[in-house]
Amino acid sequence: MELRNIAIIAHVDHGKTTLVDELLKQSGAFRENQAVAERAMDSNDLERERGITILAKATSVEWNGTRINIVDTPGHADFGGEVERILSMVDGVVLLVDAAEGPMPQTKFVTSKALALGLRPIVVLNKVDKPDGEPDRALDECFDLFANLGADDEQLDFPSMYASGRAGWADMELDGPRKDLTALFDLIVQHVPAPKQLEKYEEPFKMLAVTLGADPFIGRILTGRVE
């Protein structure tokens, strides 16, 4: 099975966790009769109360024979260290930007680290259905941000999409059909490179541990990347 590892970068309240909820639902991660709370990946009480993400989470979905590992990362600068650690696990990033607000200063640090690691971005302009949305201006601001952060030519040639995470759709064109997130799934598979295959399977197991969590049923859970 093909693999893709991505991290989602976004400012607080730009709709990141809501979009991840929709990715989980539309990929078939939940049963049809399963009741799923909003912000499914916000397991921390403070996260649910304030609607923000504090601790990095990882999940995976399957799409047309490809397993996509998704990391839902904190969007606030105070939790930047958590985001920086998670970037070492992935091969591409999705920068989610509110079409009305554009890229915010608190995403600059995380984006700069992603670009420095050579990760190729996908820009998703979210909330384009809001009356005050200016997706063209927001897209230009994203390009300027990447250029100012020293992105190379390949990173500056980034694909972009228009979306509404709450409505559950994403399209390459602003006036597209707005049906579902199929276009976003397909773009991730096409644009994000597959992880490098391990060449020497006889060597001892090595894993870069990034996050440590706990589950009342499973016990301690270690998340990282096999080296």
Strand (E) positions, the chain?
Answer: 2-10, 57-63, 66-72, 92-98, 120-126, 160-164, 169-171, 207-215, 219-226
pLDDT in tens, 162-206: 999 999 999 999 999 999 999 999 999 999 999 876 555 677 888
Alpha helices, DSSP H, located in 43-134: 45-50, 80-87, 108-116
Note the pTM of the prediction, 2 decimals. 0.82
Alpha-carbon gap, residue 181 to 15, rounded angstroms: 14
What the block records as the tokens of 217 is 């049923």
Range of the domain at 183: 2-196+203-226
Nearest alpha carbon to residue 106 among 133, 129, 74? 74
pLDDT in tens, 1-41: 899 999 998 887 778 888 988 999 998 765 554 544 454 45
CATH assignment at residue 162: 3.40.50.300
Alpha-carbon gap, residue 216 to 139, rounded angstroms: 43
Total domain count for the chain?
Answer: 1
Which pLDDT band, with edges at 50, 70 and 90, does 216 fall under? Answer: confident
Distance of CA 113 to the CA centre of its chain: 15
Whether residue 111 contacts residue 9, with contact meaning beta carbons closer than 8 Å, is answered with: yes
